[in-house]
Amino acid sequence: MPNLIHKKSLELFKKAKTIIPGGVNSPVRAFKSVGGSPLFIKSAKGSKIYDVDGNEYIDYVLSWGPMILGHTHPQVTKAIQKAAEHGTSYGAPTGLETELAQMILKIYPSMDKVRMVNSGTEATMAAIRVARGFTGRDKIIKFEGCYHGHGDAFLVKAGSGALTLGVPDSPGVPKDYAKNTITVAFNDLEALKKTIEKEAKNIACVIIEPVVGNIGCVLPKKGFKKYDIVLIFDEVMTGFRVSFGGAQKAYRIKPDMTCLGKVIGGGLPVGAYGGRKEIMSMVAPEGPVYQAGTLSGNPLAMTAGIETLKILSQKDTYKKLEEKTSALEKGLKDAAKRAGVSTKFYRAGTMFCTYFTDKEIFDYATAKTADTSKFARFFMGMLKRGVNLAPSQFEAGFMSLAHSAKDIETTIRAAYEALREA
Q: What is the CA 290 to chain-centroid distance, rounded? A: 26
Tell me the residue ranges of DSSP E strands in 236-349. Answer: 257-261, 271-275, 344-348
59: annotated active-site residue: no
Which helix (H) or strand (E) is 184 found in, with range?
strand 181-185
Q: Name the active-site residue from 234, 256, 371, 407.
A: 234
Name the active-site residue from 60, 108, 147, 364.
147
Peptide bond into 2 cis (omega under 30): no
Let me know if 262 is a catalytic residue.
yes
Q: Among 49, 45, 43, 36, which residue's Cα sits nearest to residue 6?
A: 36
Instruction: Give 209's Cβ-side CA count (13 Å radius).
Output: 30
Does 147 qualify as catalytic in the annotation?
A: yes
Partner residues linked to 156 by β-bridges: 168
Cα–Cα distance between 253 and 330 in angstroms, integer? Answer: 29
Exactly one of 262, 324, 407, 416 is catalytic; name it: 262
Amino acid at 336: A
Instruction: Classify residue 356 by its DSSP letter.
Output: S
SS3 assignment, position 247? helix
Whether residue 34 contacts residue 380, with contact meaning beta carbons closer than 8 Å, is answered with: yes
Task: Name the phi and psi angles at 374, rounded to 5.
Answer: -70, -40
Quick one: how far is CA 230 from the chain centroid?
22
Q: Which is nearest to 278 in space by CA: 111, 162, 422, 156?
A: 111
Which residues are identified as catalytic? 147, 234, 262
